[in-house]
Structure 1
Amino acid sequence: MHFSGYNELHFHLQVFVLVAALAAAVAAAPAPDAPSYHPEYQYKEPKPFAYDYFVSDHYTGTNFVKKEESDGHNTQGYYSVALPDGRIQHVKYVVDKYGGYNAEVTYEGEAQYPEPAPAYKPASHHPEPKYNEEAKPFAYDYAVNDHYSGANFANKEETFSLK
């Protein structure tokens, strides 16, 4: 074949584009039996577990309990927490792959809504410190009983007024 300058350039450009497209297609095709970059997930049989704990801090009013156990397929548990409005919320729940999460929620006590505190008013630029109250005594206790790890401990701390 004989080409003029423009036609020859156009022909070479078409050949180049065709070769580049074929090279890209070959490079993009997966190699047969190529190793995967992500290992196949190995399903592990769920293990049974059981644990429980509680916290009772009389100074701050923090008070909660939790207990949960599972046979590896079904999980059931209970927790209880003191709410900011003064009530205690109790939740008993069951979880399984067929029914999902099912909870029975109950409340103990009446909700209390105290009057809001007065608005903040900034003090003078350099106020004198005032200490009109001694440190209050406190007491709290907690416990952990984790059947899986074997952790089993409890602690109780108290302070008393020095008056």
Structure 2
Amino acid sequence: MSLKVIFLMGLVALASADSVPSYHAPAPSYNAPAPAGPAQYNFNYAVKDDYSGNDFGHQEGRNGYDTQGSYYVQLPDGRLQKVDYAVNGDSGYLAEVSYQGEAQYPQYQPTQGYQPAPKVGYA
């Protein structure tokens, strides 16, 4: 009986070795919803941290192929940089950059260099 089982297993292994393996892409695990129409949204955010000096934000609105928005950031030199932009269909990204304030470059004041700690009680 065991000889028949071994023979049958060998025959199955031989038959499967002759077949050419084939790859089939897995089916998606979910059905993504189709877009109901052109994109339409509005969003904005702003961060102002007086402790670290961070001040930045962004707002954007889109209705179909017409997108308009702006963003701003506080630069290290003290100015506020603002970018207003628009995209309409295939027109590309059209931006207008502006600055508020004057650049400040304070004179460099070097600090005292490293001083090693004094030796205490070690010979």
Q: Same fold (TM over 0.5)?
A: yes
Query: RMSD between aligned alpha carbons?
Result: 3.1
Alignment-mate amino acid for residue 77 of structure 1: G
- Report sequence identity in percent: 40
What is the TM-score normalised by the length of structure 1?
0.47
- 2:88: which partner in 1? 96
1:53 aligns with 2:45: yes
Aligned equivalents of 1:95, 1:55: Cα separation in 2:
25
- Secondary structure, aligned partner of 1:100: coil
Corresponding residue number in structure 2 for 1:75: 67
User: Runs of 4+ in structure 1 displaced over 3 angstroms?
Assistant: 34-39, 42-46
- More contact order relative to length (CA 8 Å, sep ≥ 6): 1
Measure the CA separation in 2 of the matches of 1:79 and 1:123: 45
Structure 2 unaligned spans of 5+: 1-19, 119-123
The match for 1:7 is none
Query: 1:43 offset after TM fit, Å?
Result: 7.5
Q: How many Å apart are 1:71 and its aligned residue?
A: 0.9
Question: What is the match of residue 87 of structure 1?
Answer: 79
Figure out how many residues of one structure are paired with residues of the other and give that number. Answer: 96
Q: Which residue of 2 aligns with 1:154?
A: none
Matches within 5 A, 1:9-158: 44=35, 45-118=37-110, 121-125=113-117
- Superposed CA deviations along residues 129-155 of structure 1, whole A, max 9, x for unmatched, are xxxxxxxxxxxxxxxxxxxxxxxxxxx
Deviation at 1:96, TM superposition (A): 3.0
CA distance 1:73–1:43, change in 2 (3 Å):
farther
Q: What is the identity, as a one-letter code, of the residue corresponding to 1:47?
A: A
Quote how far apart the aligned CAs of 1:60 are: 1.7
- Corresponding residue SS for 2:52: coil
